[in-house]
A and B are shown apart, each in its own frame.
Chain A
Amino acid sequence: MSELHTVNKSPFEKSSFDSCMGHVLEGSAVLLYEDGVYAAMQGTTAEAKVKSAQGVKIYVLGPDLKARGIDAARLIDGVDVVDYAGFVDLTIEHDKVVAWV
């Protein structure tokens, strides 16, 4: 069993991202979307948490990145960009979705 965790809030506004990262297990994945995408940028105070997640794959939703003017070049290394079709695929690759709304 593995989970797709989703975070849609800025890590600077709400605790959703921190809480998610505190509960995510190896082999699971985290998708950052809506204002959650800000956690995927280099040079923020959230970066260390993204990097320290052992065996956890971090994804970010491309359309939400673009809407917010974030160039993919500014993403933390190892973070993968997916589109909505990729979001759908992630929910299938994992056994369930845990939304940290």
Chain B
Amino acid sequence: MKFSIQINEGPYQHQASDSAYMFTKAALDKGHEIFRVFFYHDGVGNSTRLTTPPQDDRNIVNRWADLGKEHDLDLVVCVAAAQRRGIVDDGEAERNGKDATNIHPQFRISGLGQLIEAAVQSERLVVFGD
């Protein structure tokens, strides 16, 4: 079955991203397809490569990135939500005159249309939030 996942909360503060990760992994393990993972609201914070948790804790960003790499997942960060919260890629840095980027290369920034398209194309949309 074809799933898409929506994540509304950032890492660590809420369990939402952890739950979404475990669900996504379980779905992949069962042979299902993940059409897209869409990060919205504070969920865009799951994409910053500058995250540095203590060594004995999980690295939520890298964990998503690794799963994404392994399964060729489309990890999409909402551009409007990202701009508000300072999540920046090369394109956004250039467009908005920022002196740095922070997005992990396994993620991509795109528009809200990607969420709608995911909902249209997928058989199930599963939302994780606060």
* A and B interact: yes
- Point out residues on A near B: beta carbons under 8 Å: 8-9, 33-35, 63, 83-85, 87-89, 91-92, 96-97, 99, 101
Q: Which residues of A contact B130 (CB under 8 A)?
A: 9, 101
Q: Is the CB of B129 within 8 A of A99?
A: yes
Q: Is the CB of A84 within 8 A of B26?
A: yes
Query: Shortest beta-carbon distance, B51 to chain A, in Å?
Result: 21
Secondary structure of the B contact surface, majority rule: mixed
Q: Complex: how many Å from CA A9 to CA B3? A: 23
Contact A92 to B124, CB < 8 A, known contacts A34-B15, A101-B130: yes
- B128 contacts partner chain A, Cβ-Cβ < 8 Å: yes
Q: Is the CB of B125 within 8 A of A84?
A: no
Q: Is the CB of B125 within 8 A of A97?
A: yes
Q: Which residues of A contact B8 (CB under 8 A)?
A: 101
Q: Is the CB of A84 within 8 A of B129?
A: no
Q: Is the CB of B26 within 8 A of A8?
A: no
